[in-house]
Every structure is written in C-alpha cells, then in structure tokens.
Amino acid sequence: MGLTIAEKIIQKHLVSGEMTAGAEIGLKIDQTLTQDATGTMAYLQFEAMGVERVKTELSVAYIDHNTLQAGYENADDHRYIQTVTKKHGIRFSRPGNGICHQVHLERFAVPGKTLIGSDSHTPTAGGIGMLAMGAGGLDVAVAMGGGAYFITMPKCIRVELTGRLRDYVSAKDVILEVLRRLSVKGGVGYVVEYGGEGVKTLSVPQRATITNMGAELGATTSIFPSDEVTRAFLKAEGREGDFVELFPDADANYEKVIKIDLDELQPLAACPHSPDNVKSVKELAGKKIDQICIGSCTNSSMLDMLTVAAMLKGKTVHPDVSLSISPGSKQVYTMLARCGALADMIAAGARILECACGPCIGMGFSPRSAGVSLRTFNRNFLARSGTADAQVFLVSPETAAASAIAGVFTDPTTLGSAPEVRLPERFLVDDNLIELPVAAEAAGSVAVERGPNIKPVPTQTPLVRDLKAELILKVGDDITTDHIMPAGTKVLPYRSNVPKLSEFCFTVCDPTFPERAKAAGGGVIVGGVNYGQGSSREHAALVPQYLGVKAVVAKSFARIHVANLINFGIVPLTFKQAEDYEKFAQGDEMEIRGLADAVRSKTEVTLENVTTGERVTVELTLTERQRGILLAGGALNYAKSGAEE
C-alpha cells in the first residue's frame, strides 16, 4: 500500500519501532528550535546531559516570548541562552528578529525533514512540507544531543480542499472550520494532511496558518504537500536549493477524509474560551468590541500584514477600539516599512508592537475588565489574555481589520471586493540578527552567564513503591496547560526559577492550590478528558512534580503533556470506566498498593478511595521506555542511569 506524506518522512527517519498505528516509534530529528519561555529550562537540561556539541543538522534558539522586561529576570534568561547556545553549536535568533515559527518558516524549514520545537506551534513548518512537532524542553534537549524523539505512530486524517477562497475569506477560516468539525480533541493520535486541488491556491504562509493552528486539534502535527508553490516561496527566500517535491502516494491510506470546499467557506470566529467553539462572524455581527490584536505565529506573515494595511489605508480605527499589530518577523517588519504599508497602519491609529508573541501570551495588552477582544491568534483559553473575565474571540486578519474600523463585529465579505495584495517576488533576506555559534575548538573560551534568576533544575527521586496520598485537586474536561501553569507578565519571568513559579501553579482553578499542595506534601490530581491540552510547556509537569504530585488520574490526556508528565516522573493513569471519575472528591485519601510494580509490568492497577472505600481500575498505557523513565523518577535520572543512549 502507498504512503501518506507523513509516513514517507517517518519511514526515512525511523530509528526504532514499527510503523503500525499506536506503536511507539523513535525518530531521528534533523532540526530543533526553542523559544525563551521554554528554552532556558531546555538548555539547563541539555547542560545536565553533559553533551558538548549539538548533533542535529541545525538547532536554533529564538527570543520572542519574554520580551517585556519589567525586571532583570527575562534579560538574565536571554543572556544565558545567548551564551549557552554559542558554546554548544546552536544558532541564536536575537530579540527583535521575530516569532520563532515565522522566522523558522522563512529562513530554515525544509520540506521532507524533521523538526521538533519546545513550543506546541512548531507544526507551523508543516506548511512547507516538514514533519514538525511540538515537544517538551527535555525531549528537545535529548534530540539536540542526538537522541531519538519518541512518539506514538499516528494515523492520518486527510483534509481534501477544493475550490478557491473567496474575497475576504482567509486561511484562518479554513482551520476554524476544521476545528468546528473535529474539536480540540479530534486530532489526538493523528497527523492531519491537506490535499486536493484547492491546495494549489494557497501560498506557503496561508498553509502555515492552517498547520500552526492544527495544534489546537491535539494532533501530532499537520502537513501540506511540497509543490511548485513551496518552490516559489523558497525561491523568494533565496533558498530554492532546499526544495524537494513531496506528495502522498495515490493509494495512500487515510483513516478519515474531511472535505472542505473553499468557495463555500465564510468568515468564522472561535468564541470564548475554546478554539473549537466556532460560530460564523455573520451570527456575531454588530457585537461591540473593545480591543483587537493582530499578529502571533498564526497570522503575522507579509501576506496577512499587507492585507490588513490595505484595509486600514485612509481609514481611522474606531474610537472605542484599541488595535495592536505585531508583525511576525524582522523580515516582514522591514518590508512593511519599506513599502509604506506600515505608515498606513500607523496613520489609521494602530498601536504597533515589536515582532514577538506579545499579547498572545499575555505579555501586555490585556483587555479591560469584561472587555471583548478580537485576536488573530490561536488560543483563547480562560485568563490567557491577562484579564480573567475578558471575552476573547479568534478571527482572521480580514475580520479583525474590518471590525477595527467599524467598532463592532463585522463580516468582511459584506465590504465588496477585497483590495489586491501582491507579495514581492523576492523577500528581503538579511540574517544579521542570527548569531552563529563558535567553532567546537573555541567552545572552551565561551563563559556561560547565569543571572540570579536562574535556579538549578530540581532533582528527581525514584518512584514510590506504594502510593498513599491525598486527592489535592479535582478538575473537569479540557484542562489546558494555561490552567496548570499560567503564563503572562507576572509568571513568565520565572520560567527558570521553579520554586518561585510553583506559587502560580493551578491558581487559575484554585488560588489556594500551591499552599495546599505544599501543606499536604504533594498528592494526586484527578482530571477529565483531554487533560493538559495546549502548550508544550514542561513546566506544567515539572512544577507539579516539584510540589510533590505523584500521579494524575484522568479520563484521557493530551499528547505532549502526557509525555511531559512521564519525563518528570508523574504517573499518568486513565480511568478504565469514565464514570469512575465521579467516585472521587477533593480531599479524599487515595491508595495504590504496588504502584511501582504496576509501572514496571502491568497495564492495570487498583486505585482505592480510602475515604469512601470505593475501588476502581485505572489503566497504565506505557511503553517499556516510559516504564523505565517513571521508575527512575524522571527522564533526567533515566538518562543518567545510562538506560538511554
């Protein structure tokens, strides 16, 4: 039988396991990326592994998340990353160079290669035909050291695109439609592959918008073919030599096929507080808006920016609306400035921000209380904007620009025909903000600078034989990593300071959690379906581990988060019967006799609620490697014990 695009890339990179859906496979990783909010921890772990030089073809460290520097902390982290990368063979993308995914797509992504990044939106590079996946920082550190990246062999969903997008309908509307149909858990265990005649009508940045937000489906990754459009994009970036053609075989096997006629799509919006809570903009038309933010790794390409500038040209942003625009990269920003489009944005009243994540991760621009904010971003999780009672809607740049002028939700297709936007044939290429590492022989001369904010990685202790602990928190379905380990201005500066970070753990759900967890000496967490969706931040496992959490029992888990839990020695257990979730209440005493034995060799174990006397069966879905990691108390201990090459 023929192969899908993903299967072709996997086959070429397979270092262990068999390509049967559901089996664990190990992949050789060609490229890695980190950003600063996860990178500090990833490099501390890389250093702890004792590898002198990265073994990948290319590794890049970006500074894009923690760019609001209200104290010394973020700047300390930046300097640490700058020096540690110089020493160990990693390129350093300076603050000001742009958002990791946008810059990587422009300058480094290569069709047919593998990439992992310590950021869940790494699949952005799937827009160029790369197998690009989000991972925890520790997994990225291991890949930099030449180790394999382990995933569950995914199944494939094919999204068949026909037709062509109408004026003012956007790539963002395509992915919102996919989210509407599949939900935030619909992609778990799958690669989402795009195909069909409609693909040819989409440029690489449009494709990248779609694969970027595919992260919100819970998918392993999303990918487009590499075709003549891909070649043209690489040529515009002066990298035509990186082009390879990549299509699925005609008889490739897809588990599901979804059909989308681009002609029939209309502008859509994801309503609070989930990216799959999708309605048409028409239904929301007329609703008052307080704030609009355009940018993020989803919608900050030259195409998006030129479209917005053309729509704002000669107009004024509505007096009740505050509009921010953050171009995605220095390349985009400079081209906008040179062609005059930036002036059109400024003249209309847009507040131009630096090319970084900014408001997307709550770094400034929080909406007013109970404010309505329209954002071209990919996540509208509760409190992520920094304002707990804000109503955040996710929309296309076209809907955002139309609404910014009107002051109310506006369906852009009601504006007639769209202004013509042409991308330059050649992009402005200047990698002057990418620092190269020193040669291996000179590595000894580089001193790694660690500011006082950088605390050592907490140590890991081997798994307990029997578990007896309190149920310290019970939460519902679709708990995100923004619930577990929030971000934003107050918290992000402490990503390399776990003791301080722990004061914010789960505070979105329960402000007393950190104190209670400490007082109880740790415990167990119970969750619903899709526990840990969203970000790749390993801090959502590392910090609970630091607070003494030994196990999470849930109805199901999100892919990256469950890998992070295992890496940090927290046992993920799944209710055999989903309704057993009801048999537990916060404060109950829990017991698992022979937990370590079960982790060593069993697929089921009994969980007892000592308080009520109820006993239920929970499942352990673990590979041999994962069992070893959990028994050692975490992946760092496991690696040190020599169990992994």
User: Which residues are known catalytic residues?
Assistant: 64-65, 119, 379, 535, 537
**Residue selected from 59, 120, 183, 413 as contacting ligand MIC according to rule CB under 6 A:** 120
Note whether 297 binds ligand SF4 by CB under 6 A: yes
Using a 10 angstrom Cβ sphere, with 0-12 exposed, 13-18 middle and 19 or more buried, the burial of residue 519 is: exposed
Q: Which amino acid is at 502?
A: S
CA–CA separation, 129 vs 144, rounded Å?
22
CB of 114 to ligand SF4, least distance (A): 19
**Residue selected from 41, 132, 217, 360 as contacting ligand SF4 according to rule CB under 6 A:** 360
Q: Which two tokens stand for residue 526?
A: 């119970």
Closer to ligand MIC by CB, 65 or 625: give it: 65
Closer to ligand SF4 by CB, 203 or 212: give it: 212
Cα torsion through 560, 563, 567, 571, rounded to 10: 130
Q: Which of ligand MIC, ligand SF4, none does 542 bind, CB closer than 5 to 8 A by kind? A: none
Q: Which of ligand MIC, ligand SF4, none does 28 bind, CB closer than 5 to 8 A by kind? A: none
**Residue selected from 27, 151, 171, 361 as contacting ligand MIC according to rule CB under 6 A:** 361
CB of 409 to ligand SF4, least distance (A): 22
Q: Which of ligand MIC, ligand SF4, none does 537 bind, CB closer than 5 to 8 A by kind? A: ligand MIC
CB of 3 to ligand MIC, least distance (A): 29
Using a 10 angstrom Cβ sphere, with 0-12 exposed, 13-18 middle and 19 or more buried, the burial of residue 415 is: middle
Q: Which two tokens stand for residue 135?
A: 């991972």
Note whether 378 binds ligand SF4 by CB under 6 A: yes
Note whether 175 binds ligand SF4 by CB under 6 A: no
Note whether 116 binds ligand SF4 by CB under 6 A: no
Q: In what order do the strands lie in the sheet with 322-325?
A: 278-280, 268-270, 391-394, 372-375, 291-294, 322-325, 351-352
Note whether 209 binds ligand MIC by CB under 6 A: no
Q: Which two tokens stand for residue 41?
A: 């921890």
Only one of the segments 67-75, 301-309, 508-516, 529-537 lies at the binding site for ligand MIC (rule: CB under 6 A); that segment is 529-537
Strands (E), 457-568: 467-474, 523-526, 549-554
Only one of the segments 117-125, 280-288, 448-456, 573-581 lies at the binding site for ligand MIC (rule: CB under 6 A); that segment is 117-125
**Residue selected from 56, 296, 301, 380 as contacting ligand SF4 according to rule CB under 6 A:** 296
CA–CA separation, 322 vs 435, rounded Å?
36
CA–CA separation, 235 vs 248, rounded Å?
23
Residues 54-73 that bind ligand MIC (CB under 6 A): 65
CA–CA separation, 343 vs 198, rounded Å?
34
**Residue selected from 308, 357, 401, 473 as contacting ligand SF4 according to rule CB under 6 A:** 357
Q: Which two tokens stand for residue 524?
A: 């167990």
Residues 41-70 that bind ligand SF4 (CB under 6 A): 65
Q: Which of ligand SF4, ligand MIC, none does 393 bind, CB closer than 5 to 8 A by kind? A: none
Only one of the segments 49-57, 311-319, 357-365, 522-530 lies at the binding site for ligand SF4 (rule: CB under 6 A); that segment is 357-365
Only one of the segments 68-76, 80-88, 116-124, 179-187 lies at the binding site for ligand MIC (rule: CB under 6 A); that segment is 116-124
Note whether 84 binds ligand MIC by CB under 6 A: no
Q: Which of ligand MIC, ligand SF4, none does 296 bind, CB closer than 5 to 8 A by kind? A: ligand SF4
Contact 426, 295 (CB under 8 A): no
**Residue selected from 121, 158, 330, 474 as contacting ligand MIC according to rule CB under 6 A:** 121
What does R_g of the chain's alpha carbons equal in angstroms? Answer: 24
CB of 399 to ligand MIC, least distance (A): 21
Note whether 121 binds ligand SF4 by CB under 6 A: yes
**DSSP β-bridge partners for residue 160:** 195, 259
Residues 458-487 that bind ligand MIC (CB under 6 A): 487
- DSSP, collapsed to helix, strand or coil, labels residue 143 as helix
Report strand pairing: 149-152 vs 268-270.
Answer: unpaired
Report strand pairing: 190-195 vs 155-162.
Answer: parallel
Note whether 13 binds ligand SF4 by CB under 6 A: no
DSSP 571: E
Closer to ligand SF4 by CB, 94 or 518: give it: 94
Q: Which of ligand SF4, ligand MIC, none does 275 bind, CB closer than 5 to 8 A by kind? A: none
Q: Which two tokens stand for residue 190?
A: 């799958």
**DSSP β-bridge partners for residue 468:** 591
Crossing angle between the packed helical segments 72-88 and 36-49, to the nearest 10 degrees: 50
Report strand pairing: 58-62 vs 91-93.
Answer: parallel
Closer to ligand SF4 by CB, 353 or 401: give it: 353
Q: DSSP string of 591-610?
A: EETTHHHHHHH-SEEEEEET
CB of 358 to ligand SF4, least distance (A): 8
CB of 544 to ligand MIC, least distance (A): 15
Q: Which of ligand MIC, ligand SF4, none does 323 bind, CB closer than 5 to 8 A by kind? A: none
Contact 122, 32 (CB under 8 A): no
Q: Which of ligand MIC, ligand SF4, none does 99 bind, CB closer than 5 to 8 A by kind? A: ligand SF4
Q: Which two tokens stand for residue 186?
A: 């619909």
Closer to ligand SF4 by CB, 37 or 192: give it: 37
Burial pattern 565-596, b for ≥16 Cβ within 10 A else e, equals: bbbbbbbbbbbeeeebbebbeeebebbbeebb
CA–CA separation, 19 vs 16, rounded Å?
9
Helix-strand-coil split of the chain, %, nearest 5 = 35, 20, 45
Closer to ligand MIC by CB, 503 or 589: give it: 503
Note whether 38 binds ligand MIC by CB under 6 A: yes
CA–CA separation, 125 vs 526, rounded Å?
35
User: Which residues lie near ligand MIC (CB under 6 A)?
Assistant: 37-38, 65, 119-121, 134, 361, 487, 534-537
User: Which residues lie near ligand SF4 (CB under 6 A)?
Assistant: 65, 99, 119, 121, 296-297, 357, 360-361, 377-378
